Amino acid sequence: MDMKEQSLRTLLERRGVLRGAAMLGAGATMMHPLPVLAASSQSAAIRKAAEAGKAASIQRIRDWIALPSIAAENLNMAEGAAFMAELARDAGFTNVEIVPTDGHPGVFGTIDVGAPRTLGIYFMYDVKQFDPAEWSSPPLEGRMVERPGFGRAIMGRGAVNQKGPEAAFLAALHAIRAARAKLPVNIVLVCEGEEEIGSPHFRQIATKPNILAALRKCEGIFIPFASQGKTGNVTVNLGSKGIIELELIASGEKWGRGPKKDVHSSLKAMVDSPAWRLVQALQTLVTKDGNTPAIEGWFENVRPLTEREKELIRAAARAGDEAAQKQALGITHWIDNLAYDDALIRLAQEPTVNIEGLVAGYTGPGGKTILPGRAVAKLDLRLVPNQTRAEAEKKLRAHLDKHGFTDVEMNVSGGYDPTEVAEDSRLVRSELATYKRLGVATSLNPRMAGSWPGATFTAPPVSIPAAHFGIGHGSGAHAPDEYYLIDSTNPRVAGLVDATMGFAEFLYTLAAIR
Amino acid sequence: MDMKEQSLRTLLERRGVLRGAAMLGAGATMMHPLPVLAASSQSAAIRKAAEAGKAASIQRIRDWIALPSIAAENLNMAEGAAFMAELARDAGFTNVEIVPTDGHPGVFGTIDVGAPRTLGIYFMYDVKQFDPAEWSSPPLEGRMVERPGFGRAIMGRGAVNQKGPEAAFLAALHAIRAARAKLPVNIVLVCEGEEEIGSPHFRQIATKPNILAALRKCEGIFIPFASQGKTGNVTVNLGSKGIIELELIASGEKWGRGPKKDVHSSLKAMVDSPAWRLVQALQTLVTKDGNTPAIEGWFENVRPLTEREKELIRAAARAGDEAAQKQALGITHWIDNLAYDDALIRLAQEPTVNIEGLVAGYTGPGGKTILPGRAVAKLDLRLVPNQTRAEAEKKLRAHLDKHGFTDVEMNVSGGYDPTEVAEDSRLVRSELATYKRLGVATSLNPRMAGSWPGATFTAPPVSIPAAHFGIGHGSGAHAPDEYYLIDSTNPRVAGLVDATMGFAEFLYTLAAIR
């Protein structure tokens, strides 16, 4: 859903103190010859093809940015799926199909080169809502802008989340084909258009019989990602929290008390208030400080972090820049004034109940003397292993009912279970090996606080490892001025061509690793 | 502020069981000759002039509707004041001045005919916000529409609240002048443009030395009003609740915890939430059912209703149509399942804390995974005698502070003290006598649950009775499809010309009463 947040990555970014390659010397160029590719004697040809294809690759990103698909607004969904299918065909996928769901369609395609191993790739073709007034550059134009400390970047909605990294992956396939090299692995591509609303129908796509059969053959699956910040170092995540997004709605209509529509506020003295009803229901969900879920039985299946997981986080805290992260977030204290390592452990460990938005009655400037007939809280609830989305939905409903709020409606718009991926899976080992060969320092993060639909892959019936992979840089997911780096001036950070070559390197590594 | 609500009037409307004239026989025409005016031998001439001036009077309302002044949006405020001043001059007021304030300007003028008695008239020239999409007729056009059970009405924002009744009052002055009759009383006119935002600067107008001196000479002051519903009966209110309108704001900025701007929602596990802060602060303000203020010391100065006041309300309940009122409001139960009489007593008796609106974070369709840096509740607090606005503000702040919410900001946008007016004042006696002479059944209501800036007049230094007066009908104040009746097809309800004559009758009654 949202694990690509720069704020999050900044927060988690740390030096490669735990694992991975030694840091590059200052001023070193990152992209020295790629060992596996070099060994395959095709490295130079593929890089040459990637360089030659760069302009087309940029244009691919720009054209894609110009077509925003926003599921929450039902905007360009059929068009976005058709465009996605065309991008897949163009990159060499065959049997490309648009996959209808009860919501918006997905896209599926394969490249079968008869290789022993198969890689799954997950794409999202949708983007988050945006308000052009907040942007310094028109969000659908994909203009080139300078980003100090990084270089020239393409700016637009979806640039980094997720069109830029996805297009860089496609560019790798184009380059391998243009270089007349043989793909070292088969590829299975599954795409959805509802990632930004919580992937409500993605399971329908992944479990369609022909798609399920294809996915089950994969060593694992990743979403193309721009994982580098200023230091160039990369965090490899071994899992992520789950999420439920929902609205809680109190209304006179359902309550049978209070008004069915807005009435004059003076009537409060004789008429019940759905807005107060919502406030009272909400405050039962968390402790008084608003920081810990108080929903009955919420922690029953929570698996505490292991000592190894905590140690990984403590090491990350030691290497991190707490002050810079606080400044970037505009905060002065972590919850309970925790020390940085304890705050990062809390970030990974704790399930949360967050208010995304509140809306009731009059919300414009000044006031308006009404008693609203309806009040809505938009919540997201982050889940940790071994909580499940189904369990959480059931427990939240039971909690509301037990506290007498049987009338408070709970409209779940989407969500995923938590995801975990084994450190010794071939997918994770290939990631670490590839980063090492690229000269990129890595560290392991036991669990991202963000969420993504990885559980669709890691849980039955698909049951394959799922992760993120990719070098390169971008920022501003879900925010104004989103961008993706094209021409890097930072020797530690990959631009578009190097990110493309990173994906190519991964394919050869996965094929070769034991 | 909002006492003109049709919903409220419908709720309080009742037959004249307690006081006032006998009901007219079915089918009787309401407007038989007006005794005082008739006695003055000028009645026929004034009515003839009012009839002759009807088209101009309608056009006056329509032109006024076409110029909406909305203080909350700083829309047409100078233009509205200038138009108001022109309306006053046109109706015969002299020394008309536009009165600057720290907010939007007021208007003042007088007509001094050397009469022994002087009447104050209060006007508002502003209107409530509106959304044309919700209207069945363009809200600034003042189109004529049929209202079943009433007749032909002019529809537009401000039609009944308060431009129609105010224009009808002006039409009475025009008619008296056109009939070459002598005004029986002197008139002092004070107008403001901030009534709909709680009259934050009206006191500056009323206490300007020349205006204060003029007001203190008045027998009392009224706001022109369209007080008739379907039965034609009128409730004379002996007071109204006070009000404070305010925003409570929780923010990372003021709190020193949580983010200063919106951040990614996954950070909830390590970052405090201003939205939860607001919810927790709010829930301390009321009892669990949301119905009774729980602010420390809130009831200290509350004067309980007297037995006579309760008996007036019980009689009203007996005469009222509870089922119709519940249906009109879209509710099935009063608070605590109270019986109708107890609900109406509660309506008059109890101070309230109402949520007008909630707004935080993402409020659009679907969800957005943010942790908002700021959350706002818009509240109105109704006050009863002998609470004061100043006391209430102080106690609310103290309550928040005592509960540890020193950071939660309290932005008061306006308010008034409660208003009370003596039953034996010449103003009230003239109202009752006029209604009686007009053949309109009346009842007394000890206290309106709505609010208006009457306390500016009733409290020192002005210290004169203040009320509402007027026959005629309209509905939809603060709502779409607001209208004011022009040509009545209901024999019990006054159209524009009869409403105009009602104001003329009042002037002669006030001059003649002992």
Secondary structure (H, E, C), A485-514: EEEECCCCCCCHHHHHHHHHHHHHHHHHCC
Tell me the mean pLDDT in the region A18-45.
47
Rounded distance between C-alpha atoms, residue B9 and residue B343, angstroms:
15
Rounded distance between C-alpha atoms, residue A448 and residue A416, angstroms:
14
CATH label, A242-302+351-416, candidates 3.40.50.300, 2.30.30.100, 3.30.70.360, 3.20.20.70? 3.30.70.360
User: Where does the pLDDT of residue A37 fall: very low under 50, low under 70, confident under 90, or very high at 90 and above?
Assistant: low
Neighbours of A22 (CB within 10 A): 9
- Please list every residue in chain B whose beta carbon sits closer than 8 Å to the beta carbon of residue A272: 289-291, 331, 333, 335
Rounded distance between C-alpha atoms, residue B305 and residue A446, angstroms:
65
Which residue, B306, B241, B195, is CA-closest to B449? B241
Query: Which residue does chain A place closest to B382, by CA atoms?
Result: A266
Contacts 24+ apart (CB under 8 A), A324-327: A324/A10, A325/A10, A325/A11
- Please list every residue in chain A whose beta carbon sits closer than 8 Å to the beta carbon of residue B261: 330
What DSSP designation does A459 have?
A: S
pLDDT of residue B212: 98
Name A33's Cβ contacts closer than 8 Å, sequence gap at least 6: A43
Question: pLDDT 10s digit of each residue in chain B, 514 long?
Answer: 444 443 334 333 322 222 222 222 233 344 444 445 555 568 899 999 999 999 999 999 999 999 999 999 999 999 999 999 999 999 999 999 999 999 999 999 999 999 999 999 999 999 999 999 999 999 999 999 999 999 999 999 999 999 999 999 999 999 999 999 999 999 999 999 999 988 889 999 999 999 999 999 999 999 999 999 999 999 999 999 999 999 999 999 999 999 999 999 999 999 999 999 999 999 999 999 999 999 999 999 999 999 989 999 999 899 888 999 999 889 999 999 999 999 999 999 999 999 999 999 999 998 889 999 999 999 999 999 999 999 999 999 999 999 999 999 999 988 889 999 998 999 999 999 999 999 999 989 999 998 888 999 999 999 999 999 999 999 999 889 999 999 999 999 999 999 999 999 999 999 999 9
pLDDT of residue A41: 64
What DSSP designation does A369 have?
A: -
Rounded distance between C-alpha atoms, residue A384 and residue A420, angstroms:
10
- Please list every residue in chain B whose beta carbon sits closer than 8 Å to the beta carbon of residue A365: 72-73
Return the structure tokens found at A195: 């990632």
Residue A13 Cα, gap to closest chain B Cα (Å): 14
HSE value, Cβ hemisphere, 13 Å, CA-based, for B36? 22
Neighbours of A333 (CB within 10 A): 15
Which helix (H) or strand (E) element contains residue A398?
Answer: helix A389-402
- Please list every residue in chain A whose beta carbon sits closer than 8 Å to the beta carbon of residue B260: 330-331
Tell me the mean pLDDT in the region A366-386.
95
Rounded distance between C-alpha atoms, residue B234 and residue A176, angstroms:
87
Percent of chain A with pLDDT over 70: 92
Place of tokens 């008239």: B121
Residue B138: strand, helix, or coil: coil
- Please list every residue in chain A whose beta carbon sits closer than 8 Å to the beta carbon of residue B410: none
The DSSP bridge pattern shows strands B186-192 and B118-124 to be parallel
Do B259 and A366 make contact, defined as CB atoms within 8 angstroms?
no
- Please list every residue in chain B whose beta carbon sits closer than 8 Å to the beta carbon of residue A245: 367, 369
Contact A158, A64 (CB under 8 A): yes
pLDDT of residue A486: 98
Higher pLDDT, A428 or A368: A428
Rounded distance between C-alpha atoms, residue A285 and residue A245, angstroms:
15
Instruction: Find which of A368, A371, A405 to mutate to test the B interface (most B CBs within 10 Å of its CB).
Output: A368
Place of tokens 């026929």: B44
List C-alpha distances in Å: A87 to A109, A171, A193, B452.
11, 10, 14, 65
CATH label, A6-239+418-512, candidates 3.40.50.2300, 3.30.413.10, 3.90.980.10, 3.40.630.10? 3.40.630.10
Contact B465, B44 (CB under 8 A): no
Q: How far is CA B289 from the centre of its chain?
A: 28
Which residue, A234, A110, A226, is CA-closest to A173? A110
Do B369 and A380 make contact, defined as CB atoms within 8 angstroms?
yes
Do B330 and A259 make contact, defined as CB atoms within 8 angstroms?
yes
The DSSP bridge pattern shows strands B374-383 and B242-251 to be antiparallel
Tell me the mean pLDDT in the region A489-507.
97
- Which residues share a beta bridge with B248? B377, B410
Provide ipTM, 2 decimals.
0.81
**B-contacting residues in A 90-149 (Cβ below 8 Å):** 128-129
Residue B143: strand, helix, or coil: strand
Contact B493, B26 (CB under 8 A): no
Establish if A450 touches chain B: CB-CB under 8 angstroms.
yes
Name the CA radius of gyration of chain A, rounded. Answer: 24
Rounded distance between C-alpha atoms, residue A188 and residue A370, angstroms:
55
Contact B234, B439 (CB under 8 A): no
Neighbours of B44 (CB within 10 A): 12
Residue A440: strand, helix, or coil: coil
Domain B32-231+473-512 class in CATH: alpha beta
Contact B157, B130 (CB under 8 A): yes
Contact B111, B93 (CB under 8 A): yes
Neighbours of B56 (CB within 10 A): 12
Rounded distance between C-alpha atoms, residue B295 and residue B392, angstroms:
9
Query: For chain B, give me the number of helices (H) and strands (E)?
Result: 17, 21
Rounded distance between C-alpha atoms, residue A375 and residue B38, angstroms:
56
Domain coordinates of chain B in residue numbers?
32-231+473-512, 242-302+351-416
Name the CA radius of gyration of chain B, rounded. Answer: 24
HSE value, Cβ hemisphere, 13 Å, CA-based, for B133? 0
pLDDT of residue A40: 57
Higher pLDDT, A15 or B474: B474
pLDDT of residue B177: 97
